[in-house]
Amino acid sequence: MSNFLSTVHRTHPTRAFETPPSAAPVDELVIRLLDPGPHVAALFGIVILVLLGSVLVLRNRLTDHEQTTHVSPPPEEEFVSDRERIRQLVGRNGGRMRQSEIVDAVDWSKAKVSRLLADLEEDDEITKLRLGRENLICLPGQEPAASKSDESGTD
């Protein structure tokens, strides 16, 4: 029998840890646990990856939930029409403002601002005065004194 075991140990290196048949089954279990095969290592790696993925998913869900619960209400300016926004802007600047300053303040195109100002002037909500190559936008009653005297002389 001892020749058989020595032959097994020489020909099969994976069986080198085998115990003689007289050993207890508990010893065999301990030896198999100490010498896990490649399948056990692969399974262990997969379990670790699944756990890591689960932790990352939970973390992302918690941070997304915190971001959605702390949304502040939008400012009131978003509910104001473009025409009203221009009137408010000119009013906050003393009732007079150059058209180029309005374009810079609202971050709209020159064409859009020009169109809105033309509509406002047509409705007598503003006055556009030509100053060289620019327009001075004034709210009613805020026009410069020199422009009022010219208008009264042309009537």
pLDDT per residue over 7-62, tens digit each?
Answer: 545 555 555 555 555 556 667 766 666 666 777 778 888 999 999 999 999 888 88
Q: Give yes or no: residues 82 and 63 share one domain.
A: no
How would you class 149 by CB atoms within 10 Å of its CB: exposed for 0-12, middle for 13-18, buried for 19 or more? exposed
Return the half-sphere exposure (C-beta side, CA atoms, 13 A cut-off) of residue 50: 6
> Are 84 and 60 contained in the same domain?
no
Q: Are residues 93 and 139 in the same domain?
A: yes
Q: How far apart are CA 111 and CA 103, in angstroms?
A: 9
Tell me: do 37 and 16 sit in the same domain: yes
Tell me, what's the pLDDT at 131? Answer: 86
The residue out of 69, 88, 108 marking a domain boundary is 69
pLDDT-based confidence at 142, cuts 50/70/90? confident
Stretch 135-141: mean pLDDT, rounded? Answer: 89
Domain span at residue 86 reads: 76-154
Cα 34 from Cα 109, distance rounded (Å): 74
Q: What pLDDT, on a 0 to 100 scale, did the predictor assign at position 155? A: 44
User: Crossing angle, helix 110-122 and helix 82-92, to 10 degrees?
Assistant: 90
At residue 135, does pLDDT exceed 50? yes
Residue 81 and residue 112 in one domain: yes
* 103 contacts: CB under 8 Å, gap ≥ 6: 109, 110, 113
What is the rounded average pLDDT for all residues in the chain?
77
Give yes or no: residues 13 and 38 share one domain. yes
Whether residues 57 and 113 fall in one domain:
no
Q: Which DSSP category does 109 fall into?
A: -
CATH of the domain at 115: 1.10.10.10
Q: Which of 69, 96, 114 is the last residue of a domain?
A: 69
Tell whether 129 and 144 lie within a shared domain.
yes
- Over range 53-80, report the average pLDDT: 72
- Out of 30, 51, 69, a domain closes at 69
Domains of the chain: total:
2
Of 13, 50, 8, 11, which Cα lies nearest the Cα of 35? 13
Please list, in sequence order, all residues whose beta carbon lies within 8 angstroms of the beta carbon of residue 35, skipping any fewer than 6 positions away. Answer: 17
Q: 114: which 2 tokens? A: 């020009």
